[in-house]
Amino acid sequence: MLHALLLTLIALFVTLFVFLAWNLGYWRRRGVWEPYALPLLGSFPNMVWPRRHFLNDMREIVIVVDFLYKSVWSKPTYCRQYRSTHSYVGAYLMRAPKLLLLEPKLINEVLVSAFRCFENNDASRMVDTRKDPFIACNPFVLDGDEWRQQRGIFSPLLTSGRIRNAYCNMQQICGQLCDYIEEQSKSGQPFDGTDLGLRFTSENLFDCVLGIKARSFTANPLPVAQHNREMSEDNYRLALAGALNGLFPRLPRRLRPKIVPPSYERFFGDLVRQSFHLRRCRRQERNDFINHLLDLQLQHQLTEDQLTSHAMTFMFDGLDTTSSTIAHCLLLLARYPECQQQLFLELAKASAKDQLLPHFELLSELPYLSACLNETLRIYPAGGWASKTCTEAYTFHGSHASDPLQMLPGDNVMIPIYGLHHDPNFYPEPQLFRPERFLNGGLKRFQQLGVFLGFGNGPRQCVGIRLGLTQTKAALASIVKRYEVHVNVRTLDGIELDPYIFVGAHKGGIWLDFKRRKL
């Protein structure tokens, strides 16, 4: 009996090991250099066993997993050493084979010139839109013709005229943001920068998209932050979907789990439905987002679920990314007071003393404000990596590859955005905040090189880029115009990412102090 049980356990262990290790060697068999990887942990062990953020694994591609083999191997070897001799290396996201691109020229091909062969995001493999109607129309998780159709419906929402109209309300919300800072500063407690950014972003998006006041700067706000954490930080469903995608890369759609928490769906669903009901009852001809959404419903015969999903695209794509960028930019400006002072002088010149923000057209043209924002996105990119699926056969001709590599439909490529942004070959002293990198045509130069992907690139770059830039710049400009920003002692030094937060965020939180400027 005991002998049979032992044999059964051994058989199960061997079967599990073979299953986890089966794909290892996939790239080597195709003639691609394949750094060291482990069963289950793959090439990015910190995604499974987080001692540091896995984006650092991607940046350095740890061949030797030093926390397991430190006594055996003298030191880890890093991917950076391959950049001068390899255009790409074979990697594994758990069990899923990924071609990690190292040469910017090839990254530009995938995102721009050869887009038709890599038009699908890998995120679509994690989602069953029938189970998650909230994201069924979100262009980020859609493929092929469905992506083109929904993006074609959503993109006309974001015209310059509507963003300009939203900016009028945005100015009032920036005033409320500064008044909130003034009032809360009396307590002497530091500000949580991420919370402050989320309060502004939720108030702005709720107002301009749904026509609802989120009451973010009152003592009784809508619980946006709580539900946002349920979706982005404490979402075991999303973690499960990611794990299944890593373990079973070709998992049938019907077996993919629901990723939107029911409580999140109820909260936002009720608000969106109430918003549309009120606007239908009190029809107002306004050039705003909610009116245009209702017009789209009639024009494209959208169902209520599709209409809700389009409205929620603003929330999914804008809440976390914008609030995080605002918080990180404030942190970096606080650490570099000379940069903060230069930004203040630019803002003071662009608007009168009693004017919190410059005019809409001028705001987008302020070079140093744009440079500060782009340098923040370089250091703390909202998306630290991208994964694309090959949809048509394509051949890579890498500068460091002796033979061309034929990519087949279904193959995945990974783009190490965080690694590119922190590569000293492109950005000398990458750990330093230097906005001047992006002045005098710097942004265009880095984009053409394929080494700056703050908002992505090509046809599938962030669909809400103009709205995101406008609200981020408005928040930063209003705060810096009125306050000096200082780092609180609770904030950890360095630019280390929190390993337990999937989207790159400063480890330990962003804690800030504000001092009213004397104008």
Instruction: Give the C-alpha separation, 448 to 443, whole Å.
Output: 9
User: Is the separation of the CB atoms in 91 and 61 below 8 Å?
Assistant: yes
User: Is the separation of the CB atoms in 322 and 311 below 8 Å?
Assistant: no
Instruction: Give the C-alpha separation, 243 to 96, whole Å.
Output: 10
Q: Say how many C-beta atoms besides its own lie within 10 A of residue 109's C-beta.
A: 21
Annotated binding residue at 329? Answer: no
Instruction: Give the C-alpha separation, 102 to 122, whole Å.
Output: 19
Q: Residue 36 burial by CB count (10 A; 0-12/13-18/19+): exposed, middle or buried?
A: middle
Q: What are phi and psi of 309, to 5 degrees?
A: -65, -40
Helix (H, G, I), strand (E, B) or coil at 512: strand
> Is the C-alpha dihedral spanning 102, 106, 111, 112 positive or negative?
positive
Helices 144-154, 304-335: axis angle to 10 degrees equals: 80
Q: Give me the residue label for tokens 């003393």.
A: 353
> Is the C-alpha dihedral spanning 472, 348, 369, 151 positive or negative?
positive
Helix (H, G, I), strand (E, B) or coil at 54: helix
* Contacts (Cβ under 8 Å, ≥6 apart) of 54: 44, 45, 46, 47, 499
* Contacts (Cβ under 8 Å, ≥6 apart) of 402: none
Element of type H or E holding 184 = helix 160-185
Helix (H, G, I), strand (E, B) or coil at 259: coil
Binding site residue list: 462
Binding site residue list for heme: 462
